[in-house]
Structure 1
Amino acid sequence: MGILARAIAERKATQLTYDQVADFIDGVGGGKVAGVAVNEKTALQVATVLGCVKAIADGCATPNLHVYRETEDGGRKKATNIPEYRLLARRPNEWQTSFEWRRQMTIHAALTGAALSIKVRGNNRRVQELIPIQPGQWDVRRVSRYEVRYRCWDEFGMIGEFGPDDVFVLNGLQWDWVKSMNAVMLARSAIGLAIATEKSQAAMHANGLRPSGTYTVEGTLDPEQHARLTAWIKKQGGPENVGNPMILDRDAKWYSTAISGVDAQHVETRRLQVEEICRGYGVFPIIVGHADKTATFASSEAFFAAHVKHTLAPWHRAWTQRMDEMLLDGSGPLYAEFDTRYLMAGSMKDRAVWARTMAELGIYTRNEIRDEDGKEPLPGLDKPLTPMNMNSGTQEGKTNEDTGNA
């Protein structure tokens, strides 16, 4: 029995990954930072991480998602007559809306590096549902040089093993083509220091902002006196005793051995950690409510526009290319697109001036401007206008409506 048990133990040991061994050692894959465990759950308890992840997830879930079909004349039309349109734009599974599913998948990808949903197909092999799987309940492994398998399970047991065509995967940063890098682990130093700083400051407030120190008295204390004095000193601490005088006898003295919150620069450290975490997630600090005194309304508006271009655009591209290739017809006429015009729209006055200028100069047709505003095209507005001072004068006898003149 001893040989058999040892053989089983050796076999199980060879199957453990580095992260699994680290879990047994310190309770978190990859260890601790500044004395605190850093993983996906503890990271979300940091307000900055939560703000960054929420900004990215909401930026991918809030815009309307449409499936378009390219037309023969080079235009496009919403493909509302295919089941994939409702699947992606309205209800991807029995329990979630498109907004909820996209936000959940983006949160998984932003935190753990990848998100996975199982494709449920109908009799015609078309995808009918997308079932998201929780992080930590699926993995991917190579079975040959260019072949992978996805294994999924839940609290009820093994769900199954799937090929790449049977799952929808949203990847974050990738080091290779199989697995993604865990964003929390990449930014663990900044996140760990932020958690440690918050705990340190919370402990100071719990002690009534009184620093630790040394209480000295004349003479020698026996064990009983030492225990009684220690208990008495602890009772004097806490926020409920702030401001109460401490009466000392036996020529007692208090020597502070800790620095104050001001000396520790808690405020400066916490501000720096906000910027460090935002830098790791590629989110501008002003998006999570962190702005310095130099920020103005004009600069804030520029930051909001930059957020769409530099933070959300890569995620939108990751989403749409995955949907085009893994859920739609790949290189065919169908493609998915986020409607982000409301995120980039200016004031009503600026939009009106732009629309009139583009239409009168003939750069945009009036239907193209209606499309930019999210409105359906109208008959007779597909011709660009030609300004009167740009007319060659060869079309005499025709009205402005016939020639498209402004």
Structure 2
Amino acid sequence: MESHAGRRVGVENALQLSAVWACIRQTAQTIATLPLTHYARAADGGREPLDERLSEILTVSPNSEQTATEHWEGQIAWLLSNGNCYAERVNTGRRLSALLPLPASRCEPRRLSDGRVVYDINDRGKRDTLPADKVFHVKGFGFGGIKGLSAIRFGLQSIGSGLAADEMAAKMFANGMNPSGFLKFTGTLTPEQRDSTRELLTNFSGSSKAWKVLVLENGMDWQAATLNPEDAQMLETRQFSVEDICRWFGTPPVVIGHSAKGQTMWGSGVEQILISWMTQGLNPLMRRIESRIGRDLVRPERPGTYVEWNREGILQMESKAKAEFLQTLVNGGMMTPNEARTKLNLPSIPGGNTLLVQGAMITLDQLIARAKNEDTP
């Protein structure tokens, strides 16, 4: 599609903008590198990690060519750019045996007259139509249709303006950051003289030829156009473009290395921004994918189980805060010492699987037994 800025916008050229690239890369990498685990609900209300064929496909290796990180990174990148991500479900009998990624730009869901949804796929010059039970489809934000909405499609004007601003800045640098101007002559030039003058000027164009001395003769005079350096670099326009694109992808500018005026890249304020990004940006996206995996892949084979990304990897605190956090959980009887040591990548210790409470650090069952003895007449 063509924007009002005169630039055509698609996924490939949108990725030429560093802000678009960074928003998609940061979100996709952050989620895909978190631990993804397949759980079964335990009888006591807890959960137990599973290790079986379905778990391996979802969390280790979805197909013969990709790791789980590579697969989900690509799927999330398509989800952010196209609003949808697709994978072909390969079954052995009734059991899932592989997930093969499909390019979202070449898949088109279509509803038939009887209400069924099929997927038209154009892959490597071949056209095919797959039924819904053969395609794993995650839809992005939308209004409940059979497709999600694309941030690049609806952010056409913002991205087009950013591309136009980058192109204009690049042309300024190509001209050595020297503003355009006018050559003045006392008389009228012949066509041959005009051609020779243009050829002369090409020898002084480009950043590699900046500050070369131009010799003017025969009444030739140079008059520069007025354009200050700030206007030439369009700093404010390009800064606004970054912040505007971040809105479309739900990514705080500080996450992609862009700080607003008066804001630093470090400190407690940035930490709160990252927490907000996790709760309002990443978590809804993860829940969307987890729910679709549970509905379409897990429930048909292993009812009562589910997959979940470990969110704790996003909120890694500094050592003092993390030590105080774990100590509070251990002292309050909500976490065993060995569970706390696992969070710190430390080996388990003997006797560390018992819950403790404050007060001489005795075990919880000893405290209950003591209370019963005190109530006995």
How far apart in 2 are the matches of 1:245 and 1:68? 73
Q: Structure 1 residue 280: deviation in Å?
A: 1.1
Find the counterpart in structure 1 of residue 215 from structure 2. 247
SS of equivalent to 1:251: coil
- The 5-angstrom pairing of residues 299-318 of structure 1 reads 299-318=269-288
> Given residue 185 of structure 1, which amino acid in structure 2 is its aligned partner?
R
Q: Structure 1 residue 251: deviation in Å?
A: 2.7
Find the counterpart in structure 1 of residue 87 from structure 2. 117
Find the counterpart in structure 1 of residue 99 from structure 2. 130
How far apart in 2 are the matches of 1:112 and 1:128? 26
1:268 aligns with 2:236: yes
How far apart in 2 are the matches of 1:253 and 1:31? 41
1:102 aligns with 2:103: no
How far apart in 2 are the matches of 1:345 and 1:108? 27
Relative to 1, partners in 2 of residues 1:203 and 1:144: Cα closer, same or farther, differing over 3 Å? same
Find the counterpart in structure 1 of residue 309 from structure 2. 338
Find the counterpart in structure 1 of residue 121 from structure 2. 152
The structure 1 residue matched to 2:357, chosen from 385, 390, 395, is: 385
Q: Structure 1 residue 199: deviation in Å?
A: 1.1
1:361 aligns with 2:332: yes
> Which moved further from structure 2: 310-319 or 173-182?
173-182
1:319 aligns with 2:289: yes
Q: TM-score, normalised by structure 1?
A: 0.82
Aligned length: 366
1:281 aligns with 2:249: yes
Asked whether the equivalents of residues 79 and 139 of structure 2 are also in contact (C-alpha less than 8 Å), the reply is: yes
> Which moved further from structure 2: 32-41 or 87-96?
32-41
> Which moved further from structure 2: 281-290 or 359-368?
359-368
Asked whether the equivalents of residues 197 and 270 of structure 1 are also in contact (C-alpha less than 8 Å), the reply is: yes
Find the counterpart in structure 1 of residue 157 from structure 2. 189
Q: Structure 1 residue 76: deviation in Å?
A: 0.7
> Which moved further from structure 2: 211-220 or 88-97?
211-220
Find the counterpart in structure 2 of residue 174 from structure 1. 142
How far apart in 2 are the matches of 1:363 and 1:155? 54
- Deviations along 1:80-127, one digit per CA (max 9) or x if unpaired, are 1x311000111101111100000011111111110100100002x111
Q: TM-score, normalised by structure 2?
A: 0.88
- Deviations along 1:251-293, one digit per CA (max 9) or x if unpaired, are 3222334634423561111111111111111101111111244
Find the counterpart in structure 1 of residue 44 from structure 2. 73
Q: Structure 1 residue 384: deviation in Å?
A: 5.3
Gaps in structure 2 of 5+ consecutive residues: none
SS of equivalent to 2:63: coil
Find the counterpart in structure 2 of residue 223 from structure 1. 191
> Which moved further from structure 2: 41-50 or 377-386?
377-386
Q: Structure 1 residue 327: deviation in Å?
A: 0.6
> Given residue 310 of structure 1, which amino acid in structure 2 is its aligned partner?
Q
Gaps in structure 1 of 5+ consecutive residues: 1-29, 399-406
Give the percent of matched residue pairs that are identical in Structure 1 and Structure 2.
25
How far apart in 1 are the matches of 2:60 and 2:322? 29
Asked whether the equivalents of residues 87 and 100 of structure 2 are also in contact (C-alpha less than 8 Å), the reply is: yes
Find the counterpart in structure 2 of residue 18 from structure 1. none
How far apart in 2 are the matches of 1:146 and 1:262? 58
Q: Structure 1 residue 381: deviation in Å?
A: 3.4
1:142 aligns with 2:111: yes
Relative to 1, partners in 2 of residues 1:200 and 1:260: Cα closer, same or farther, differing over 3 Å? farther
Asked whether the equivalents of residues 169 and 234 of structure 2 are also in contact (C-alpha less than 8 Å), the reply is: yes
Relative to 1, partners in 2 of residues 1:369 and 1:220: Cα closer, same or farther, differing over 3 Å? same
Asked whether the equivalents of residues 116 and 168 of structure 1 are also in contact (C-alpha less than 8 Å), the reply is: yes
1:63 aligns with 2:34: yes
Q: Structure 1 residue 166: deviation in Å?
A: 1.6
Find the counterpart in structure 1 of residue 58 from structure 2. 88
How far apart in 2 are the matches of 1:222 and 1:355? 85
Which structure's relative contact order is higher, taking Cα pairs within 8 Å and 6+ residues apart? 2
SS of equivalent to 2:112: strand
Relative to 1, partners in 2 of residues 1:380 and 1:57: Cα closer, same or farther, differing over 3 Å? closer
SS of equivalent to 2:38: strand
SS of equivalent to 1:162: strand
Q: Structure 1 residue 301: deviation in Å?
A: 2.2
Superposed CA RMSD in Å reads 2.8
Asked whether the equivalents of residues 362 and 387 of structure 1 are also in contact (C-alpha less than 8 Å), the reply is: no
> Which moved further from structure 2: 49-58 or 196-205?
196-205
Q: Structure 1 residue 186: deviation in Å?
A: 1.4
How far apart in 2 are the matches of 1:281 and 1:351? 30
Q: Structure 1 residue 367: deviation in Å?
A: 6.4
- Deviations along 1:26-65, one digit per CA (max 9) or x if unpaired, are xxxx323412211000011111100000011112210011
> Which moved further from structure 2: 244-253 or 201-210?
244-253
How far apart in 1 are the matches of 2:39 and 2:346? 15
Find the counterpart in structure 2 of residue 41 from structure 1. 12
Q: Structure 1 residue 369: deviation in Å?
A: 4.7
Asked whether the equivalents of residues 107 and 120 of structure 2 are also in contact (C-alpha less than 8 Å), the reply is: yes
Asked whether the equivalents of residues 181 and 222 of structure 2 are also in contact (C-alpha less than 8 Å), the reply is: yes
